[in-house]
Structure 1
Amino acid sequence: MSRRVLITGGASGLGLALANAFLGRGDQVLIGDLAETRPDSLPDGADYISLDVRSQQDWDAALAHVRETWGALDVLVNNAGVATGGRIDVEAISDWERVLDINLLGVVRGCQTFTPLLKEQRSGHIVNTASLAGLVHGPGMSSYNAAKAGVVALSETLGFELAPWDIHVSVICPAFFRTNLHESLQGKDIAMEATAVKLITKAQMTADEVAATVLKGIDGHKRVILTDRLGRQAYWTKRLVRPAYNHFATKAGAKLARKTRDA
């Protein structure tokens, strides 16, 4: 049965890969992104609206569009996000405010806006894109880790809160994969951002591979969708072998200190 799907940040990266995957299944897809007009990168068959996740006005317009066009929504994918990183004494408060407004509050706005519709339907699935950084908190990434951990906490909370209305909630927690996310970096900590660029651009997994795993997780109504072996290893090491996790994270902190001492 064809599903009606709204994806934010769907004009590139994981959002675009998810749009292609849903369309490949015969689903109806509405992509929301920053461009005022439909980007050339979008696949045939996908509808488009301009949607800045920082704007409640844009969210209200998206809800109106969904109600007028489809009358209902089966899957909301809160995927829009930016990359950031930096040491606590280097990264600016303005960088924190930017990443929290987009990566965390952008997801909150989406959930708040569409939950009344999903409750009316007594059905639906909210899918929030976090990161392995929301579960495993390495050094030098405090703002990004905090924002993504907030998305994980929000998703777990809503999973229990909305279950009485048969609304499922999943959170996606991928490790690094090849995407254009690094293009959104614009913070003060240049040394940390250079490391992030290298990790993203040289990652082995592609956005299409991550999207395929995500769709399987959605089908299985998984609350937490881990997309790769590295992520599963890190997550379960933290959960089950905490001394080993602490050892590796402490070593990473020492390595970061050596690398950036003169930066």
Structure 2
Amino acid sequence: MGLLATKSSCSYAAARVLVTGGCSGLGQALVKLLVADAARVLVGDVHAAAPEGSLPPGVDYLRLDVSKDEDWDAARNWVESTYGGLDVLINNAGIAAGGRIDVADMDEWRRIVDINLLGVARGCHTFVPMMKQQGSGQIVNTASLAGLVHAPAMASYNAVKAGVVAISETLRSELAPSGITVSVICPSFFRTNLAESFGGKDVDMEASGTEMITKAPRSADQVAAVAFAGMKAGKFIILTDRDGHIAYAAKRFARPVYDRAMLTAGKRVGKGTTPVPPALDKLRARFAKPGPRGDGEARS
């Protein structure tokens, strides 16, 4: 079983897959693509039962709070007894957070670290032994462009997503001898219900973040389609949109320009407005060029 690949095609047909946070947003969109590709899918989410209509027919469901060790133990036991193994683990569950360092409190930090960072660590810790025993597997971790590009007023979110990228990079080389591949998805803002998980003290930053999510030009389905293709191709860092390519390329290859854009954006923080759009606007103006179908790509 598992990801079946040839030089011309690859498929998740018959692959046994666990997707956390799969009842909505990017996780839900990936579940639909996996089912269409004939995978066997188990969704883990915080609901006692999957919300009606949230999952395609035939998808298995298990309540899984990624911050609870006992829930991960239950998921491993379920997978062992029902699937007999796991081919693909998609650590997708997460929450939104943001705020200025002197406004967001330590409870917010502890919550996002426990869910967004340790949730990924728990998932890998739980299922890597199973994959090692099989001699094969794929781990896909959902990070964010914030894991690669660190805008002002987003310290907690930047930190955990950068941590997810770091875990992914570490495991990529650590697990390769065991036949386990690793990918990390790093999307920019896209339309999803993620904003509903905001709940911190910096209400100005969170209001701006909510607006950026709800008015983003990309849908979860669009992001998932790019991510899914990257997963199938075995890419490590999967950038899903033009903004991501521009910002990451600027940071790597034109650091002075990138730094100026971020420092300029930081001046907006005191005004209570999010600095991310102005920073991206500056980088787009400097590095974007027309691409196929009116899209753009980063000059490097």
Amino acid at match of 2:192: T
Q: Compute the displacement of 1:59 (Å).
A: 0.3
Contact 2:205 2:272 in 1 (8 A): no
Q: Deviations over 1:182-211 (max 9, x none)?
A: 000000000000110011000011101111
Counting only pairs closer than 5 Å after superposition, residues 111-260 of structure 1 correspond to structure 2 as 111-259=124-272
Distance 1:7 1:68 in 2: 17
Distance 2:47 2:191 in 1: 22
Q: Deviations over 1:2-30 (max 9, x none)?
A: 21110000011111011001001111110
Amino acid at match of 2:171: L
Amino acid at match of 1:154: I
Distance 2:15 2:190 in 1: 27
Secondary structure of 2:190 counterpart: coil
Counting only pairs closer than 5 Å after superposition, residues 69-84 of structure 1 correspond to structure 2 as 69-84=82-97
Distance 1:238 1:79 in 2: 25
Secondary structure of 2:207 counterpart: helix
Counting only pairs closer than 5 Å after superposition, residues 6-45 of structure 1 correspond to structure 2 as 6-40=18-52, 41-45=54-58
Secondary structure of 2:268 counterpart: helix
The corresponding residue for 2:286 is none
Secondary structure of 1:49 counterpart: strand
Secondary structure of 1:10 counterpart: coil
Counting only pairs closer than 5 Å after superposition, residues 84-123 of structure 1 correspond to structure 2 as 84-123=97-136
- Relative to structure 1, is the Cα distance of residues 87 and 122 closer, same or farther in structure 2, using a 3 angstrom cutoff? same
Secondary structure of 2:267 counterpart: helix
For this pair of structures, how many residues does the alignment match? 260
Distance 1:170 1:139 in 2: 26
Distance 1:259 1:149 in 2: 24
Distance 2:17 2:74 in 1: 16
Q: Compute the displacement of 1:38 (Å).
A: 2.7
Distance 1:222 1:201 in 2: 28
Q: Compute the displacement of 1:65 (Å).
A: 0.7
Q: Compute the displacement of 1:230 (Å).
A: 0.6
Distance 1:11 1:201 in 2: 18
| Root mean square deviation of aligned Cα | 0.8
Q: Deviations over 1:120-164 (max 9, x none)?
A: 001000000000000000000000000000000000000000000
Q: Deviations over 1:235-260 (max 9, x none)?
A: 00000000010010001101222346
Gaps of 5+ in 2: 1-12, 274-300
Q: Deviations over 1:63-109 (max 9, x none)?
A: 11111111111110000000000000000000000000000000000
Distance 2:63 2:176 in 1: 30
Distance 2:211 2:265 in 1: 16
User: Percent identity among equivalent residues?
Assistant: 57
TM-score (norm 1): 0.97
Gaps of 5+ in 1: none
Amino acid at match of 1:14: L
1:48 aligns with 2:61: yes
Distance 1:194 1:38 in 2: 28
Secondary structure of 1:162 counterpart: helix
TM-score (norm 2): 0.86
